Amino acid sequence: MQSNVVTLSDGGGGLKDVNWGVVNNGLDFLESSVQYLARSDNRSLKYAALHLFASMETLVKARLAREHWTLVVADSNVPTKAAFESGNFRSISLGQALQRLGSVADITVDGKDVERIKDVEKLRNRAAHFSLAGETPERVKVVVARGIDFTLRFIEKWLRPEAPIGEARLIDETLERVREAIGRIQVLVEERMKSLEAELASHLFVLDCPACRQGSLVLSSDQAARCLYCLYCPGGEVCAEEYSASILEISRYGHALEGVDWPIHSCLNCGVEAFVNHIYTAGQEEVGWACFACGYYVSTAEIEICFGCGSPMDVRGGGTSLCGDCAAAKFEKF
Ligand SMILES: [Zn+2]
Ligand SMILES: [Zn+2]
Ligand SMILES: [Zn+2]
């Protein structure tokens, strides 16, 4: 594909050629990611994640540069056109590029896609700096497949329209090959979910998994939460925190600033800091409080928050405004 750069070029040199080369590169990374994804060994999955991120970054910036080339430059000192054309400048991040696309071109990426991009970015950072040890191949595959899905939609909706003719032709050819390959991968994901149907149906609670985001995280009594799809099972406390960050979108450090209550408390059954409020089933129905360490569950109506310390209290035996500890402390004062 690289050899097409010269033959399909619009000619004339200058910025058009720069963008053309960049798009060509982005599509090449995308296709490479899909090819690596089709294999299952750890090394291939690492490159699938790295190349997908490179592809997203390149294609989103190429679209931004179509608005104006200086928009992809990070420095406040804009480089000369010659420096830009030779790639000799510092470029903005993917997140900044998406933000700028929103402001200058009215191209907005919805919340679900932002999550998908962030998941790929996290995976890419781990793959680049550490390794994917600890990640299951199932999780990497589903995160990369979703990222590819976003990239395809981005190309179709925002990059393909108004692309110069040679660029449009290359986009069409690449998309055809990539769609076929990603279709096969999506079938594998669906088949795996299907094979889990009976087992998932046997669980009272099936939640969205914070690692792979499939509706396949199960809670069963006296067991830590675990994902049947990607086999994620880091222990109750870690899983609760990840669920809060990825699914409820409440972070330990940001919740106070955002004005939301921290949803994780000590479990009324096992005492572990893994008792989570606002649990949603995979069907998006709120079901109440559940412990990610021991599987204990209580509906929202059966829990009251202690007026004194903010911990949850089981009020099935009758309503009260203070928990046992706070009531005892108050009693001691008198
Ligand atoms: Zn999972
Ligand atoms: Zn518990
Ligand atoms: Zn209390």
Residues 184, 214: Cα–Cα separation, whole Å: 18
For residue 235, which ligand has an atom nearest its CA?
Answer: 2
More confident of the two residues 15 and 232: 232
pLDDT at 131 over 80: no
pLDDT at 10 over 50: no
Order of strands, edge to edge, in the sheet holding 226-227?
A: 205-207, 217-219, 226-227
- Mean pLDDT, the chain, integer: 86
Q: Which residues contact 272 (CB under 8 A, 6 or more apart)?
A: 236, 237, 266, 291, 293, 294
- For the stretch 81-114, pLDDT in tens is 888 887 788 889 999 999 999 999 989 898 889 9
211 Cα to the center of ligand 2, angstroms: 21
For residue 327, which ligand has an atom nearest its CA?
Answer: 3
- For the stretch 37-66, pLDDT in tens is 988 788 999 999 999 999 999 999 999 999
What is the mean predicted confidence (pLDDT) over 224-244? 92
Give the global pTM.
0.74
Query: Which range (28-32, 74-78, 138-142, 303-307) has the least confidence?
Result: 74-78
More confident of the two residues 284 and 255: 255
310 Cα to the center of ligand 2, angstroms: 18
**In this structure, what are the phi and psi dihedrals at residue 27, rounded to the nearest 5 degrees?**
-70, -35
pLDDT at 290 over 60: yes
Quick one: tokens of 327?
């009531």
For residue 269, which ligand has an atom nearest its CA?
Answer: 2
- For the stretch 182-197, pLDDT in tens is 888 888 888 888 999 9
285 Cα to the center of ligand 3, angstroms: 29
- DSSP class of residue 91? B
pLDDT at position 8, please?
30
Secondary structure tally for the chain: helices H, strands E? 11, 9
Using a CB cutoff of 5 Å, list residues around ligand 3, an ion: 306, 308-309, 323, 326
Spell out the domain ranges in the chain.
Answer: 4-195, 203-298
